[in-house]
Structure 1
Amino acid sequence: MRKFAKISAVLAAMVLALAFVGCKDDDDDDDDPSVLTTWYCTEEDEEDGVITETVYFYDDNTFKVVESSEGVNITFATGTYTGDTTKDGSVVITIKKVVKGILDDSESLDLVEVPSEYASEFIWKATISGNTMSTVDGEGELSAWIKK
């Protein structure tokens, strides 16, 4: 009878230990924003070949632009936006950080803050219509994007 009691106690302890280990973490990861929409455009550059730019719009009104070429992905720009990227309408995209090489014609791929004197050049106006988005940057350059 004592042997049965010991075995029962050990089994109960194991079940209890496994119950705690097997519990799912119920904490929500509110620190990580979720992607709302993703848009991409592809262009061919004589020097760099085919380049794909992808914009990820997050639910905390931030975005990231990733440039891909020959299997290399570079975060090109980050910032904030206003508007709803999930439906037709207007969106204003404000680039806060950009690859340093864009600002000083260097080879640097480091993300740096956009200097205040260039801020107006790094605001894009976007129009979403169905599965397409057209953007006009601060210098008037037009780009067409497709929804993923």
Structure 2
Amino acid sequence: MRIREMMRTTLATVGLDATFAELVAAHRCHNSRLVYVVDAKQHLLGVVSCYDLLRSAMPFYVDANLAKALPEDDTVIRDSFNSCQDKTAADIMTREITAVSPEGTFFAAEALFTKGRFNVLPVIEDDGRLVGELTRRRILDFLAGHCGL
């Protein structure tokens, strides 16, 4: 069973110049853990996770002790999010990406999930074009259906 058979192909994609607000909107509108940053030919350039967005928006110096002292209103959060308005996907994205081929097997993907502690893997063709994503959930759903469960 190949990854091509179980991958998801409806993905959230943006260009390098996508704004912080566009990245947040893409995350909120799509049922995916990642927003994929691609060029005009759909070559994968990077990924933006919810963690990447929150890390960009929240002050780096906030720790558990300081968090207790912050006001309970949304002033700090609003200010943090507003300060990100000039950031783009190019500023925020993770560039080091572990990906799989659509011709790979789910066994190989599961090994990567386990080794890298990933929840989602981009699926790219040999030429670097993004064609899908694979999650453990997709594998489970596919295998359960295949086994009649």
TM range, normalised to the smaller chain?
under 0.3
The structure richer in helix per residue is: 2
TM-score by length of 2: 0.26
TM-score (structure 1 length as normaliser): 0.26
Higher relative contact order (CA 8 A, sep 6+): 2
